[in-house]
Structure 1
Amino acid sequence: MDYLNKNISINLKAIRKEKGMSMDEVAEQTGVSKSMLGQIERGEANPTIGTLGKIVSGLRVDLADLTRTPGVGVYQVNRDRLLPSKEVPGQYAVYTYFPYEKNRLFEIYEIEIEPGACYVSGAHGQGTNEYIVVHAGELTLEVDNSFYQVKQEDALSFETAVKHIYWNKGREPLKFIIVFVFKQ
């Protein structure tokens, strides 16, 4: 399950309970079957935008109320259930742990790059810093025609106002975590 479906799952159940509605009542108000609503709440379905439209209309909530990160004390992301948010098979995959949100000043991603491949990233704008921790392999980072080697278990940070390229020039798969921090 990706982060968006997980958010929808948790939020739909919370909204339903907050309104004191049974699954039957939500089905009646939204026109979405009780079976489909149950699958969405359990995180087993990938609802279409049409289905989400019926739910927000029937429950009289905003789409953002369903998709936002739930206001829970603990929000766990299981890596084995994440789907790549960007991917070129045989080259790289990007996994989103915590995406951009207006009330959060950071994002967290994991990138996997196969040997001999690279991932090109555009500039992220003034006031954005990137923090990288390499978990496996060795990263060659190209920033503004300069190259930086980041070995396994090492870290690096830089301002991301310019295009940059993540290279895996090694023979092993490369895995690293990126934290983007936005200045206020």
Structure 2
Amino acid sequence: MELNRAVAENIKRIRKSKKLSMERLAAESGVSRSMLGRIERGEANPSVAILGKLALALKVPAEILLENDEFQPLQLVRELDTRPVRLDGGKAVLRPSFPYDEMTRQENFFLDLYISAHYAPEVSVPGCVCHATVLSGSVGLTAEGERFQLLERDALRFAADRTYQFENMSNSTARLLLSYRYLK
């Protein structure tokens, strides 16, 4: 998102959340009503001094007014652009699908388990949840003290901040999609 647009949306959102009219914010900040209107419409590029006055009047740190999430809802990740990690003596391959995204607090991986492969990742941060979906094959999954046998298109959600592991239970490669969600 363009910085002027991000600043405009941040000021307007914060002003409205504090139930301040434009006139009231203009009076409390010392920024003219017309300049404030131009800023909120994204038509003006406010100086650092003006941003400081607005932040003070809104009672927020100035950097909050500059936040720009940069979230792009459309993102293409090509397999050739990712680097796989070989595990379990090369019998397991973990490949990023979508890297960690701060806005969604999520990341995704493909996991290929060749015949007799095991994958026991490190325990994740507190509050992390994994959604494991079997794309092909049969997988033994031990999570939260229980063992599950998942078949093609089966899915299981479990706490990834505890010990868990995957094991290929079929006579061919088993493939999974792992989606990790980091709760606030």
Quote the residue 1:143 is aligned against.
143
Quote the residue 2:133 is aligned against.
133
Letter matched to residue 148 of structure 1: F
Output the CA distance in 1 between the equivalents of 2:176 and 2:138.
9
Give the % identical residues: 17
Output the CA distance in 2 between the equivalents of 1:80 and 1:153.
25
Measured after TM superposition, the shift of residue 178 of structure 1 is: 0.6
Quote the residue 1:112 is aligned against.
112
Gaps of 5+ in 1: 1-69
> Judging changes above 3 Å, is the alpha-carbon distance between structure 1 residues 83 and 129 closer, same or farther for their aligned structure 2 residues?
same
- Is the counterpart of residue 154 in structure 1 residue 147 in structure 2? no
> Judging changes above 3 Å, is the alpha-carbon distance between structure 1 residues 175 and 144 closer, same or farther for their aligned structure 2 residues?
same
1:91-117, Cα deviation, whole Å (9 max, x unpaired) = 011110222243331111000010111
Output the CA distance in 2 between the equivalents of 1:181 and 1:71.
17
- Match of 2:100, SS state, is coil
Quote the residue 2:183 is aligned against.
183
> Judging changes above 3 Å, is the alpha-carbon distance between structure 1 residues 147 and 75 closer, same or farther for their aligned structure 2 residues?
same
Measured after TM superposition, the shift of residue 133 of structure 1 is: 1.0
Letter matched to residue 100 of structure 1: Y
Letter matched to residue 95 of structure 2: Y
- How many residues end up aligned between the 2 structures? 115
Kindly indicate whether the alpha-carbon contact (under 8 Å) linking 2:141 and 2:147 is maintained by their aligned counterparts in 1. yes
Kindly indicate whether the alpha-carbon contact (under 8 Å) linking 2:133 and 2:156 is maintained by their aligned counterparts in 1. yes
Measured after TM superposition, the shift of residue 154 of structure 1 is: 1.2
1:121-169, Cα deviation, whole Å (9 max, x unpaired) = 1211321110011111011011244211111011110011212111002
Letter matched to residue 126 of structure 2: Q
Output the CA distance in 2 between the equivalents of 1:73 and 1:162.
31
Output the CA distance in 2 between the equivalents of 1:143 and 1:77.
29
TM-score by length of 1: 0.56
Quote the residue 2:124 is aligned against.
124
**Structure 1 segments of 4+ aligned residues over 3 angstroms from their partners:** 70-73, 101-104
Measured after TM superposition, the shift of residue 73 of structure 1 is: 5.1
Structure of larger gyration radius = 2
Kindly indicate whether the alpha-carbon contact (under 8 Å) linking 1:125 and 1:162 is maintained by their aligned counterparts in 2. no
Gaps of 5+ in 2: 1-69
Kindly indicate whether the alpha-carbon contact (under 8 Å) linking 2:144 and 2:159 is maintained by their aligned counterparts in 1. no
Quote the residue 1:174 is aligned against.
174
Measured after TM superposition, the shift of residue 90 of structure 1 is: 3.9
